[in-house]
Structure 1
Amino acid sequence: MTRDLINMLYHHALVECSQTLQVLRPVLHSLVKSLPTAASLALLCYLAAVRRSRFRGIKTLLDKYPDPTTPLRDIKVAHEVYSRTFLLDFPFIAGIGLEMTGLKTFAIPSISKVLVATKQDDYTYNLSLFVLEATRWIDRFEWRKLTDLEKNAILAIWTETGRAMGIEHIPGSVEEFEEWAETYESKKMVFAPSNALVAESNLAILGSVTPPVGSILRDFIESLMTPRLRAGLGYGAASRYKVWMYSSLLWLRGSFVKHLMLPRTVPLVRTALRAAKEGKAAEGQKTDSASGCPFSGRKRYITRFDLAPPPVYPQGYVIEELGPNRFLGKGPADVTTTPSVL
């Protein structure tokens, strides 16, 4: 009796399900047919939103400061424009450009000899790289080129820094900086053993990144060096295939960011924008006894599997304490008085 009842209910349920599917079939068929259309419309709306919002930031700045020379007369405007450019719009490529700045200085023998007797022109050349190098990389690989307003903001920031350092005869425009740096490099960027030694020491830092990531990063940097820089560091000619491959990857990344990524709303910074009440981002600091350099006392999850090196200063820091252990506490007075000069 019970089995007959169960069979009857089961049969009744199947009939109801079949009838329901018959009713829903046209609706489901319509949904399936309209899904590609809906997805296409959603994608178009997203692309339009990306396009509209991605240029909103620079458009706001250009509307606010229609005269592109304004940063040259107002350092606060220069800081505003510079911060947006480097922290929001182009933090990735700008960072690569700034890293390449260091390698270029190592290819000048008078600088690579540990700046023992650094001359005025050497200081000016270092300054020119901060004005020019990130700009070149952004214009070549980012999702848009820099505007004159942004270039003048970069020029104003580093010109003001150079003056505070006592550097004399600073070029007055980006074009003058380019001409001056080209003349300087053509005469001074020649190979010397000290060049290779300093560059190799810095590139060796990439070895701290777990292989093969470290070797790929090094190969990437070496491949995108200019021929003059490679000669100054004692490297042979770069593989044309690698130059094309890495350049194409950066171009594809720029296109992806331009068309498919919404703009950054949170600044990408290497250091904390605000200090905690103790004066640091957090409390404490641990030091590697072997190298004397600060390291992480608290490993991130991925570092437990040696997938990435531990972060430096995970507990925070104050500027006057930065550097190797042997220099800790030696010079806080100099560091704290420098901002008043700047």
Structure 2
Amino acid sequence: MPSSLLRRGLSHIQPSSPTPPLTHPDCGIMDPSPNASTTTSQAAELSNRGLLGWPTLALLGLATYVALCSLLRFKRIQSVRARYGYTDRASLARMTNQDAHEIAENLIYLEFPLLYDLSMRLALFETYAVENIAKLLVTVSDLNKWDTLPKRFAAFPPTSTQLHKAIARMNFLHAPYIKTGKIRQEDLLYVLYASMAEPIRFLNIFEWRQLDEMEAAAIVTMWKYTGDMMDIDYRTVLQKDDWEDPLEFLKDVTEWASEYEDRYMRPVKEVQALGQILMEFLLQSHPKFARPVAYPMALVVIGNRLRRAFGFPEPSLAMTVLTYSLLLIRKLVIRFLCLPRIIPVEYISQPDKTTGRIKHYHYMKEPWYVPDTFWSRWNLETLLTWVCGGMIPGDGGADMKPDGFLFEDLGPKNKVGKGIQETLELEEMVRQRSSAGCPFAVATKP
């Protein structure tokens, strides 16, 4: 090796009494030791042969690239923290709904788009594993569009008309079931809990870095604001309705949700039937040859409690180790070898200026609301979907609504296009409650 050769060359130099340096009238000080010049010539010869230079340059280049990846990846979170000024726990009490939306957008569309999307799917799995919710969903839900609603909330600012319309439509769809007691306040709160807590938990375990307090608080604030406009009765369920900051709210709701799951997340027949439908739907987004591996991996990721509730089998130890190993490798590769994303993922469009319709750009199996364009049909993601047995934009024709959706299109088939006037009235109520300000600092403590 080059370094060992250099050491052997240097070992021939014996210590001796100091010798005054030789000088040359043109060159200045000269090295009195012939061994030093010999060693230099040896190193030069090794470098010329490529034994010293190229490996060193390759390692230096790799180290530089890794350092650049780390610098740029952490520079973004440092920049966001400096921009908004949420540098400690005390500052989180003044986080506004608008700031929370912008910070969450950075997480969802730039930092962690893939696993945030996956965590929201897992959050829906959790809500479907609750007995009361499962019984209702089995009878009224259109499961082919089960993964789309959370993206709509995150896409729109807190005072936007689009967010008001989305929440008003959801309130309209929930209202008959709330009135008859089929949906309880605690059921609504649990759905809210899963939507904000599961992404935080999931990203902290599987992403290349954990969320800091500011980012966790932004997710909580965004969903707490949604819960406010759903008119969730926190005092009835939690025996309080004001909190010092978002993290205190998350703590209280998490403690309550643990007891709620103990009571209602049980392996009843409706839950197990729904679990089978959801798992089949999830596996259909993978090619058939990959499903024997994708299925046990999904069982590992969903965790013990959901597996028991849905009646799924326990994955083997080997599959558990493989799944966590692959996720760890992904984490390390992104952390040290991938430059940060600079173009945000786009899940849905802004409303069309003429029609008001909103298009999707991301789907699992069926291209609901996805425009039928050359790029949407033949991009890499679409081709992978096709290989996995899914449909591509344009398949299914007008039934897939390629021109996009209006909010009155949302809901079970028997509700599509209905309740327009009622939704408008609810939209006005939502608009009056909306605010870009801080939902926590204004609270009055007893």
Q: What is the TM-score of this pair, normalised by structure 2?
A: 0.61
1:30 aligns with 2:117: no
What is the CA deviation profile of residues 113-143 of structure 1, one whole-angstrom value per residue up to 9, with x for unaligned ones?
0256111111111111111101111000111
Q: Name the SS for the 1:145 alignment partner.
A: coil
CA contact (8 A) 1:296 1:310 kept: no
What is the CA deviation profile of residues 291-314 of structure 1, one whole-angstrom value per residue up to 9, with x for unaligned ones?
997788664373797445234668
Which residue, out of 310, 315, 319, partners 2:391? Answer: 310
Change (3 A) 1:262 1:333: farther
Aligned length: 310
Which residue, out of 250, 254, 262, partners 1:174? Answer: 250
Change (3 A) 1:334 1:89: farther
State the Cα distance separating 1:222 from its structure 2 match.
1.8
Change (3 A) 1:336 1:269: farther
1:61 aligns with 2:61: no
The aligned amino acid for 2:294 is L
d(CA) in 2 for partners of 1:294, 1:85 = 24
What aligned pairs does 1:193-212 form with structure 2 within 5 A after superposition?
Answer: 193-209=269-285, 210-212=287-289
1:190 aligns with 2:271: no
d(CA) in 2 for partners of 1:109, 1:304 = 32
Higher mean C-alpha displacement, 251-260 vs 320-329 = 320-329
Change (3 A) 1:198 1:264: same
d(CA) in 2 for partners of 1:304, 1:133 = 26
1:271 aligns with 2:348: yes
d(CA) in 2 for partners of 1:304, 1:81 = 31
State the Cα distance separating 1:81 from its structure 2 match.
1.0
**4+ long deviations beyond 6 Å:** 291-296, 323-326
1:93 aligns with 2:115: yes
Instruction: Give the unaligned 5+ runs of structure 2.
Output: 1-43, 138-176, 244-248, 361-365, 394-399, 435-446
CA contact (8 A) 1:72 1:152 kept: no
Q: Report the counterpart of residue 300 of structure 1 in structure 2.
A: 378
Change (3 A) 1:253 1:333: farther
1:319 aligns with 2:406: yes
CA contact (8 A) 2:357 2:404 kept: yes
d(CA) in 2 for partners of 1:339, 1:276 = 20
Q: Report the counterpart of residue 245 of structure 1 in structure 2.
A: 322
CA contact (8 A) 2:369 2:401 kept: no
d(CA) in 2 for partners of 1:155, 1:296 = 33
Q: Report the counterpart of residue 186 of structure 2 in structure 1.
A: 121
CA contact (8 A) 1:135 1:151 kept: yes
Instruction: Give the unaligned 5+ runs of structure 1.
Output: 1-25, 284-290
Q: Report the counterpart of residue 136 of structure 1 in structure 2.
A: 201
1:329 aligns with 2:405: no
What is the CA deviation profile of residues 201-245 of structure 1, one whole-angstrom value per residue up to 9, with x for unaligned ones?
122213433312345433322222222221111223332222221
CA contact (8 A) 1:88 1:267 kept: yes
Higher mean C-alpha displacement, 184-193 vs 215-224 = 215-224
Q: Report the counterpart of residue 3 of structure 1 in structure 2.
A: none
The aligned amino acid for 1:223 is V
d(CA) in 2 for partners of 1:293, 1:262 = 32
State the Cα distance separating 1:106 from its structure 2 match.
1.7
d(CA) in 2 for partners of 1:280, 1:161 = 22
Which residue, out of 115, 127, 133, partners 1:111? Answer: 133
Change (3 A) 1:156 1:308: same
CA contact (8 A) 2:356 2:406 kept: no
d(CA) in 2 for partners of 1:169, 1:41 = 57
State the Cα distance separating 1:179 from its structure 2 match.
0.9
Higher mean C-alpha displacement, 98-107 vs 264-273 = 264-273
Q: Report the counterpart of residue 18 of structure 1 in structure 2.
A: none
1:218 aligns with 2:295: yes
Q: Report the counterpart of residue 151 of structure 1 in structure 2.
A: 216
CA contact (8 A) 1:319 1:335 kept: no
CA contact (8 A) 1:206 1:218 kept: no
What is the CA deviation profile of residues 56-97 of structure 1, one whole-angstrom value per residue up to 9, with x for unaligned ones?
111112223224544754111111111111211111221221
d(CA) in 2 for partners of 1:135, 1:304 = 28
CA contact (8 A) 2:130 2:265 kept: yes
State the Cα distance separating 1:337 from its structure 2 match.
6.2
RMSD after superposition = 3.3
Change (3 A) 1:215 1:123: farther
State the Cα distance separating 1:323 from its structure 2 match.
6.3
CA contact (8 A) 1:125 1:181 kept: yes
State the Cα distance separating 1:159 from its structure 2 match.
0.6
